[in-house]
Each structure stands twice: as structure tokens, then as C-alpha cells.
Amino acid sequence: MRLTHWVNVLAIIIMVGSGLRIFNAYPAFARKGEMFCCYPFEHKPIPAWLTFGGWLGGARHWHFAAMWLLVVNGLVYITFIYLHGEWRDLVPRKGDVRDSWQMVKFYAFRRKDHPHQGKHNALQKTAYFLLPLFGLLAVLTGIAIWKPVQLAPLTALFGGYVWARYWHFLAMLAIVILSVVHVFMVFAVDPYSIPSMITGNYNPEHSPEARNARPFYHLFPKRVTAAPSAPAPAEPM
Amino acid sequence: MSEHDLDRRKFIWQSGGLISAALLAACNSRGPKAADRLLKYAERKNRGLETALFRHTSMDVVQGGAHEAGNKLPAYFVSRTVPVWNESVRGKWALEVSGMVGNPLRLTLDDLQKLPQVSNRVNHYCVEGWTAVETWTGVPFRELAALVKADPQAKFVDFQSFDDDYHESWDIESAMHRQTVVAYGLDGKLLEPAHGAPARVYSPVKLGYKNTKYLTKIVFMPVMNGGYWSDQGYEWYGGV
């Protein structure tokens, strides 16, 4: 289960890097002889250092190999989370919007105390619920632009090849944004969760809620010892 | 603060540093050499899947409202200058159709134009990611195959050209697809040298680089024969 997280890290890095290298072969969306409405950076390549694969053919091989890693890993994750019942921590529930807003207010210093939460706070829950959905969108739009003739109905579902390629790009962007924010929050709010991403153990006394932690605020746990003025209890002889 | 906490913090910084270093090393690289075999394996498996997905009834359809690329269609060849068939040096151009066939033929442009003709308005899918709408006029490949009495054992076909040593071999099923034509016309006019005159293969079921221009020979074969770009590391199948 935790293994799928790190396999996912590897798969996403390979897929995004090689995908951007493929994109750079034609960093635009317009059909030849047409304009494209909705991308402001047509014909501006992505910086090479963000790409992976070295050349178009190499990046395609990486992309079409790692896609299986991503898909199989995604299926394993969904299966595990279903069998273990952990999906219950992630499905949207009534009040999530309200709770998310409370988290936003807390992070923006408009609320003093950390809202009460379960395993994840409401913003986190939303992000972890959305990520697999964006992943699914990325996979489906990817298949649509891989096989636009043999699987034409799928491509048509996304508005044809040009638009499917655009949705594929946006799905990637959404995944990258969620991942970057996730990594930032891990380091800025809850670095104590990093060992738990590997070992599975988590000390609830270090949770952001217990520490009332905002990004870079209250990084260190509250002192758990009693107030210094309290007299030490007498030891029985 | 316990010693345990210090260890933990050290661990966090170390793992962060390790991941960053690995990322920087991987940037813009071809990736580890050791992965080559794995990538080759994946390509073989993907080819199997693509072959299984292939349907003769799956047709490329141009989206409503799509514009013709016209003169925005990129011209591309591997010779240093536009390849032009020089009649005074090489004699009259003719397309040789040979290999595992019962009735090998040499067809001049006139011969080709007398054969059953189709015009397909279809998409061009380039490996780079762009598409272009064009109308290709020519002889359906399957008509040619019937005419030369192609051996059913010929599972591959090689399209060869006079653009240096450019050629690409295909699986026979993709070649027999109804939208695969030996084209001599583009957008209602005779094909120009920039786009592969006198004749080229054109099919929306294959990526652009598989569609050999400046044809000289079509050879039916029992085995695949690589190709100009396939040999340089692009996928041999290149199916759409």
C-alpha cells in the first residue's frame, strides 16, 4: 500500500518528464493551418531540464513503458484501498466544503485554532480524492491520443485528437500542481509524516492538529510536560 | 526533544537531498542504459496490443469544421534537397511491385492513374504530435495487392523510395486497411515533389514517418524489414 505511493512518485516523474519531452517536438495544440484558442504559450518549448528521455523517440519509449507502471500501480492502489476500507478516509462527505473553507481560513490566519480533523484534513482529503481522478483522466486522454483511429469513439468523447491532447496536458498540469503542493505541505506543515510514508507509524502527538501547525508555523511539537510551576510529585520511598 | 526526533529530522533532510539529487541527474537525460532492455520489452508488448486492437473497420474521420492544412502541411525528406526523379538520367519513373507475389508489376504514373481511384479526406498524425487534414488521391493498396496476386504468407510489406535510403516496412494488415492508398494526388492536384511525387503511400492508420514518400518499390515479405526511422529507435509499428 505505502509501496504504491513511491512507485507512483517514480511513475509520475517519468511520465511527466517524458511527456514534456514529447510535447516539445510540437509544443502547440493547433492543427496545421489552424489556430488554437486556449493555450497562451503555443510554440514555446518547455525548458529542457524539466524533460526526460533525451530525444523524441527515447521519450516515447519511456512514456509507453511507464504508462503500464502508472496504470498497474493505480489499480493495485484502488484495490488495496477498497479491500482495507481506507477509501472511507477519502470519499467526499457532507460538510467537506465547509471544512475545507475552515482550513483555508486557518492557513490564512483568519482562524486561530486548527480545525478538528480525522486522518486527513478536509483540503488534504479533497486533494487525495482528486488525484486518482486526474490520473484516470490522464490515462483515458492518453489512450485517446495514442490510438485516435483504432479507438476513435474514445477520442471523439474528448472532442477529437486536438482537444484530447489538450485535456491530456491539463490533466498532467493538475497532477503536477497537486503533487508540488503536497510535497510543499509535507515539508512545511507535517514533516513528521515522512517516516510514516515509509514505515506506517505515526505519532498523533506530532500531528498538525496537535501542533496547531500552519506552513512553517509550529513545526516543533508542543511540550508535553506539565507546566514548570507544577510541583514534582513526591516519589514513594 | 529526544534523540529520536533528531534522527528523524536528519532522515527527512537526507531523503529530501537524495531525491533532489536523483531528479537533477535524470533531467533531460536518456535515462539509465540498464532500462533499454525493459523499454524494448515494453515496445514488443505494446506492438502485440496494438496489433490486437487493429480493426479494418476502424476508420479515420475528420472532425466537422476542421480546416485543410493546404500549404501549411510541412514538407519533409531526408535527402539534402527535395528529391526529384530525373527522367533524363534514370528513365521513366515506374513503381515496382514485387516480392512474394504471383504477378510482379512495374507501373508508370499513367498505369497507376488508370487503376481504381479513391480520394480520402483524412488526418495526418505526425509522431511529433501535430495533425493536418488533407485529401489524398490514389490507388487503394488492397487493389494493388489483388492485382499482383500477393501471397497470403506475406505478412509484411516494405515501402522503398529514391529519397536516399528511406524506406519503412509495415504489417500487412495496416497496409490492407481501406484508407491506405498509393497516392499520386494531394488536394485535387498531382502530388508535388515537396510531398513525395510521383507517388507515396498514405494512410491515417500509421504515423507520418511510416508513410514513405518518393516511392520506387513495394515489396511483399515474409519478415519485417525495419525502416529509416524505425532503425534509429522510433517504434517500428507506429500505428495510430
Report pLDDT digits (tens) over A31-85.
999 999 999 999 999 999 999 999 999 999 999 999 999 999 999 999 999 999 9
The residue from A23, A51, A84 where one domain ends is: A84
Residues of A in Cβ contact (< 8 Å) with B1: 220
pLDDT given for residue B30 in this prediction: 83
Does a structural domain hold residue A103? yes
Same domain? A75 vs A133? no
B105 — phi, psi (to 5°)? -135, 155
The residue from A19, A51, A84 where one domain ends is: A84
- Cβ contact, residue pair B130, A68, below 8 Å: no
Confidence of residue A177 (pLDDT cuts 50, 70, 90): very high
The residue from A41, A67, A84 where one domain ends is: A84
Query: Which residue from A minimizes the CA distance to B229?
Result: A57
Domain assignment of residue A80, given as a range:
1-84
Query: Which residue from A minimizes the CA distance to B27?
Result: A49
- What's this model's pTM, rounded to 2 decimal places? 0.89
Q: DSSP letters along B177-200, please?
A: STT-EEEEEETTEEPPGGGTSS-E
Residues of A in Cβ contact (< 8 Å) with B50: 147, 150
Same domain? A62 vs A108? no
Same domain? A38 vs A101? no
Same domain? A90 vs A80? no
Residues of B in Cβ contact (< 8 Å) with A143: none
- Cβ contact, residue pair B205, A52, below 8 Å: no
Residues of A in Cβ contact (< 8 Å) with B23: 13
Confidence of residue B1 (pLDDT cuts 50, 70, 90): very low
Same domain? A173 vs A213? yes
Does a structural domain hold residue A25? yes
Same domain? A71 vs A136? no
Q: Is A203 exposed, middle or buried (0-12, 13-18, 19+ CB in 10 A)?
A: middle
Same domain? A125 vs A161? yes
Which of B39, B124, B128 faces A25 most closely, judged by CB atoms? B128
Which of A33, A62, A161 faces B68 most closely, judged by CB atoms? A33
Does a structural domain hold residue A237? no
Query: Which residue from A minimizes the CA distance to B55?
Result: A150
Q: What is the pLDDT of residues A85-118, one digit of tens each?
A: 989 889 998 889 999 999 999 999 999 999 999 8
Confidence of residue A197 (pLDDT cuts 50, 70, 90): confident
Confidence of residue B25 (pLDDT cuts 50, 70, 90): low
- In this structure, of A96-110, B1-15, B65-79, the range with the lowest mean pLDDT score is B1-15
pLDDT given for residue A230 in this prediction: 47
Secondary structure of residue A100 in the 3-state scheme: helix
Q: Which residues, including other chains, have CB under 8 Å from residue B3's CB and lie 6 or more apart? A: none
- Cβ contact, residue pair A150, B46, below 8 Å: no
Same domain? A63 vs A36? yes
Does a structural domain hold residue A145? yes
Dist CA A43 CA B20 (whole Å)? 29
Same domain? A169 vs A101? yes
If you classify domain B33-232 with CATH, what class do you get?
alpha beta
Task: Look at chain A and report how many structural domains it folds into.
Answer: 2
Same domain? A117 vs A195? yes
- Cβ contact, residue pair B69, A61, below 8 Å: no
Confidence of residue B19 (pLDDT cuts 50, 70, 90): low
Instruction: Pick left, alpha or beta for residue B169 (phi over 0 → left; psi -120 to 50 → alpha; otherwise beta).
Output: beta
Dist CA A9 CA B163 (whole Å)? 45
Same domain? A138 vs A154? yes
As a whole number, mean pLDDT of residues A157-163 equals 97
β partners of residue B123: B133
Residues of B in Cβ contact (< 8 Å) with A56: 127-128, 234
Task: Using alpha carbons, select from B60, B51, B61, B62 the residue that is nearest to residue B174.
Answer: B51
**Bond into B198 cis (ω within 30):** yes
Does a structural domain hold residue A115? yes
pLDDT given for residue A216 in this prediction: 87
Does a structural domain hold residue A99? yes
Secondary structure of residue B99 in the 3-state scheme: strand
β partners of residue A27: none
Query: Residues of chain A with pLDDT > 90: what percent?
Result: 78
Mean confidence (pLDDT) of chain B: 92
B32 — phi, psi (to 5°)? -65, 140
C-alpha cell at B35: 532500462
- What is the Cα gyration radius of chain B? 23
Query: Residues of chain B with pLDDT > 90: what percent?
Result: 85
Distance from CA of B72 to the nearest CA of A (A): 5
Query: Residues of chain A with pLDDT > 70: what percent?
Result: 94
- Cβ contact, residue pair B30, A55, below 8 Å: yes
